[in-house]
Amino acid sequence: MASALMKQLIESTEFIQSIYPHHPQIGIILGSGLGDAANEMMIESEIAYSKIPHFPVSTVQGHSGKMIFCESCGKKIVLMAGRFHFYEGYTPKQVTYPIRVMKMLGIHTLFISNAAGGVNEHFKVGDLMIIKDHIALFTINPLIGKNEDGLGTRFPDMSEPYDKLLIEKAKIAGEKFGYGLKEGVYAGVTGPSFETRAEYKLLKAVGGDAVGMSTVQEVITAQHAGLKVFAVSVITDLGIREEDNTITHEEVLMAGKEAGPKLINLFKEMIAVV
Ligand code: HPA
């Protein structure tokens, strides 16, 4: 008998397919301030999260909260403009619910973007960092609880959560555009408060290059679902600076907006080659 979660996933998927009867191959999640990037693609259809049965609803300013179906390079794409964060009060299962739905819709590859604080002292605001690995710091694993064998294995391997081949392709695209892409480890925290000076130092000491409040739970779920993942952080502030260490959400949104076109160019280039 199908579990309650499976039934909900099927209902969400069937609802979406009643409006958009195609099977996207690639999923994209756009982070803070990056929602406008969707306008760079050929949009076919849009569905507000609030219309989709069992979907959580985004509450953060700067997240428009809709699934956008588009096409680029002849490939069908489902794009999430707005994501669900643990700090908003959603459970890890709710945070990762859309990943499950995108998998059911048919995607094999997931592109993720996020806004992140720079921890590596060589980073500057506006840099794009390819995520090569992550560290979950105090974020709850979304797979805790009874395993849904129909969705994935009990103990998923996490030795290569970010697909090496996609990273290589991104580097080639980055060279072509002259983006000076950075590469590093993303430290995932719960937020919503930004880090203290001492915490930024801790993050650096444990090997983090950037820090953010999303992505890790999504990537764990994507691995569980057998999806290939490529993820990029937009460095929106420098946590490691000594003098003026204040950060505001507005700053983060602004830096995200400015870096958006670069990010979407990179994604579009990669869509052509996956
Ligand atoms: N810390 C955590 N999350 C963030 C940051 C930060 O400095 N910047 C953007 N998201």
Q: For 53-85, what is each residue's pLDDT tens digit?
A: 999 875 655 556 899 999 988 899 999 988 899
Ligand 1 neighbourhood includes 125 CB (under 6 angstroms): no
Cβ burial 155-175 (10 Å sphere, 16+ → b, else e): ebeeeebbbeebbebbeebbe
Crossing angle for the helix pair 97-105 and 4-19, to the nearest 10 degrees: 60
Report whether residue 213 contacts ligand 1, using a CB cutoff of 6 Å.
yes
- d(C-alpha 29, C-alpha 38), whole Å: 10
- Confidence (pLDDT) at 43: 85
pLDDT for 220 equals 98
Q: Is the pTM of this model over 0.75?
A: yes
Q: Which residue has the CA at smallest separation from atom 9 of ligand 1?
A: 116
Q: What is the mean pLDDT of the chain?
A: 90
Residue 241 has pLDDT above 80, yes or no: no
Query: Is 268 a residue whose pLDDT tops 70?
Result: yes
Residue 261, pLDDT score: 85
Of 1 and 180, the structure prediction assigns the larger pLDDT to: 180
Q: Is the peptide bond before 192 cis (omega within 30 degrees of 0)?
A: yes
Residues 6 and 150: beta-carbon distance below 8 Å? yes
pLDDT at 245: 65
Whole-number pLDDT of residue 116:
94
CB distance 239 to ligand 1 below 6 Å: yes
Assign 2 a pLDDT band (cuts: 50, 70, 90).
Answer: confident
Amino acid at 154: R
Domains in the chain: ranges and CATH: 4-271 (3.40.50.1580)
